[in-house]
Structure 1
Amino acid sequence: MTESVVVQTPPPLIHIDPSGADRHGEAVRMRELGPVIRAVLPGGVQMWVVTEYALLADLANDPRVGRDWRQWDALRRGEVPEDWPLLSMIRLNNAMARDGAEHRRLRKPLTRTFTRARIERLRPRAEEIVNTMLDDLSNHVGPNGVVDVRKHYAYPFPMQVICELIGVPKAWWPRFRELIDTVIRADTTAEEYLTTQQERHELWQRLFAMRRAEPADDLTSAMIAVNDEDGALTDDELEDTLWMLIGAGHETSISLIVNATRALLTHPDQLALVRDGDAETWSKAIEETLRWDAPVGNFPARFPTEHITVGGVTIPKGDAILAPWSGVNRDPAKYGPDADRFDITRTNQKHLAFGGGPHMCIGTALARLEAAVALPALFSRFPDLRLAVDSAELTAVPSIFSNSVTSLPVYLGPSRG
């Protein structure tokens, strides 16, 4: 029901930890403060936070709440610094940042080219890349017998898959990795943010020129062909669309593979189930990882186009709302008293790891495919795989967005294969 803004008790305020060191503990504290609270993000920017699963799921599907950053009153008033690093995740010219007819226009070339059939055709190539990386993994073992499977497996695998799919030249891959990292990290400086924005623009424009002169069998060429045919997107919109895709097809997959590996290595009873199971059992393990330790922690931002009431709290038109996807996926009101338990046999595995509503992440099928290829292959090749440190010693990625760890040191054990 639409209401006028009324005088209400100031909502509880929490400062989001940019280090991500205690993501799930922070989510518990936010829920304890109430269903709708205020949060201070790095840089002092404030947003609303909806802390309960049911309320956030409804909000994601509410037509009165959009993703168009041009609706953000604080930004229009100049209260958000122009060099605020998190703007790179908000102020975009693609479908993720538009609503209604504009959203459909911007999404159309992507849905015509980035299809489930195209993604499924990637499976043999993904398996080939994984096997090559597993063949090489032992070469990265240090003098202490430890190898970082994030750095040498979970990180390069999805990056190679998405770069090959999009058609990014191999020589550019390392720099694209660095540029994406500056977007998701909370410790990115204003200068780094501005440099990233300029450099990624220049790289995409170079790639467009290359593919227009010499088309290839890649997504960039396909989207250019579709776009040149019906004039759907400007080059800036095409650039931001592919930027969104390379991020969605890369960062979430890294975290999913790392988080699933860590979860299984710290829950031997669950690992035994997948070792004795089949592809469906692995699928359940992946879905439970997406629920229990979702790749995305908090995602900015949604903007009401009119005053709305959520959980008894009025959120004014034009304010920003932060979505704590990983936090609500452990909401006891949704999953019961054992919501914090990793259990691949859980009957209710529905989650919001990829968001919801019309802006649900377009890379979900790719992330699931990559995890379904990478995880069984890793545990099959190295059946004695084990963590080299206590799980509590792992360092979180310093980000409000990415929910994972910076490294995952393991002992591989003997290779089977």
Structure 2
Amino acid sequence: MSRPTGCPFDPPAEFTALRAEEPISRVRLWNGKLAWLVTRYDDVRAVLSDPRFSSDMSKPGFPSHSEGVAVTRTKHPTFLNMDDPEHAVHRRMLTRDFMIKRVEALRPRIQQHVDELLDQFTAGPQPADLVTGFALPVTSSVISELLGVPYEDHEFFQRQSGLLISGTVGPEEAMVAFDSVREYLRGLVERKAVEPAQDVISHLIEIERAGSITRDELLNMLSLLLRAGHETTANMIALGTLALLEHPAQLAALKADPSPTAVANAVEELLRYLTITHYGRRRVATEDVEIGGTLIRAGEGVVAANDSANRDPDAFPGNPDELDLGRAARHHLTFGYGVHQCLGQPLARVELQVVYPTLLRRLPELRVAVPVSELPFKTHMVFYGLFSMPVEW
């Protein structure tokens, strides 16, 4: 399903009719197989919270995003594609590093990253690309420091990550990219084993030495954290900035009240409105389950469309297709729901809460340098966003 022409922030228009008339419907995937598309908010939450729907991509019938994504995640699974109790065991290993209190303590350091990189960005010529010149460097520098990855290698892992989240890259190219990241991380782990630091890599090495995970599992986990830790939030920085610039009344309201409460609320509404995880949450039924009056049989795939759920008027009263920074949107499903909710959401929230008001304060005349119709959007990537966004200030 394609996004509406001229409306880069909206999900496919078909969702509106489906939510009203056929909220659980059959769809054909990229490989010709059929799956159930779930579009209503309550039904999406029901799927994501029901342990009878598996996240294991190796199970027959799983509706994978693409051939490239399927082969890498099946060969090198992480807790993202595990079910409990194995999922809980692996996820718990990282809870300490991404808990809210720990991430909040990083806020001053994140602010320092943002200020320094914005200094560099504004010192260059105009127009400048907000994606490659600011958004990606911010998120890459933050996740690199947290994990213990040298930031000077950011161009390498950004390039490989782009291949791994593409919906069009074939299995061979995807595996080459994945293996190159694993070998890069293997070298870092070997060095950290000799010279540990206060970072996630060193923490996971301790867990490995205790016998709780293997070296392969450690590398797969680090690859996921590195990839998701910079790519998702970078897309939200650029796309969220564009959404604000294209909604001047909302932009003016945020400028008028940049208080922590107003900024936090604005971030939640932008997360809901944009829903960059636009390929849906994928599951396969392990037994017969009835959702919203529809029987989904064991072995049938399910695409829980969280972008559609985030535009459901029953969950978000008023007009959910409008950006409204005053809306109470904290219950959105952008980070998923249930046991597989995004582990890094506290970090993403703090980064966005720092970036948006800093950008608006320091660049009050920020504007897009080309027509929005000329901007290249990531329609075929696992995470929606912009490849580039030339701006002036």
Q: Is the 8 A contact 1:303 1:318 kept in 2?
A: yes
1:125-159 CA distance string (max 9 Å, x none): 21111111111112443xxx422212211111101
Is 1:130 equivalent to 2:117 in the alignment?
Answer: no
Q: Which amino acid aligns with 1:184?
A: I
Return the alpha-carbon distance in structure 2 between the equivalents of residues 114 and 339 of structure 1.
Answer: 30
Is 1:61 the equivalent of 2:61?
A: no
1:34 aligns with 2:22: yes
Aligned residues: percent identity?
Answer: 31
Q: What are the residue-to-residue correspondences of 1:25-104 with 2, within 5 Å? A: 25-28=13-16, 30-31=18-19, 34-70=22-58, 72-74=59-61, 84-87=67-70, 90-91=73-74, 92-104=76-88
CA contact (8 A) 1:184 1:399 kept: no
Moved segments of 4+, more than 6 Å: 19-22
Q: Which runs of 5+ in 2 are unaligned?
A: none
TM-score by length of 2: 0.90
Aligned to 1:270: 250
Look up the match of 2:178: 197
Structure-1 separation of matches of 2:392 and 2:207: 48
- 1:74 shift after superposition: 3.7
- For residue 220 of structure 2, what is the aligned residue in structure 1? 240
How far 1:26 sits from its partner (Å)? Answer: 5.0
**Correspondence 1:106-117 to 2 at 5 A:** 106-117=90-101
Where in structure 2 are the equivalents of 1:400-411 lying within 5 Å? 400-411=381-392
Distance in 2 separating the partners of 1:341 and 1:128? 33
- Structure 1 residue 248 displacement after superposition: 2.7
CA distance in 2, matches of 1:94, 1:400: 20
Q: Report the TM-score when normalising by structure 1.
A: 0.85
Task: Answer whether contact 1:295 1:404 (CA < 8 A) is retained.
Answer: yes
Give CA deviations for 1:303-357 in whole Å, capped at 9, x if unaligned.
Answer: 2220112233322212222232222211223223511010011135420010000
Secondary structure (helix, strand or coil) at the match of 1:338 reads coil
How many residue pairs get aligned? The number is: 388
Alignment of 1:255 with 2:239, yes or no, is no
Mapped to 1, the partners of 2:270 and 2:60 lie a distance apart of 36
Structure 1: gaps spanning 5 or more residues: 1-14, 413-417
Aligned residue number for residue 305 of structure 2? 324
For residue 364 of structure 2, the aligned residue among 369, 372, 383 is: 383
SS at match of 1:332: coil
RMSD: 2.6
Return closer, same or farther for 1:30/1:241 CA change in 2, 3 Å cut-off: farther
Q: Per the alignment, do residues 46 and 184 of structure 1 end up closer, same or farther by CA in structure 2, a change over 3 Å counting?
A: farther
Structure 1 residue aligned with 2:266:
285
**1:159 to 1:38, Cα distance in 2 relative to 1, 3 A:** farther
Q: Summarize the Cα distance change of 1:46–1:194 in structure 2 as closer, same or farther, 3 Å threshold.
A: farther
Compared with structure 1, are the counterparts of its residues 401 and 38 closer, same or farther at alpha carbon in structure 2 (3 Å cutoff)? farther
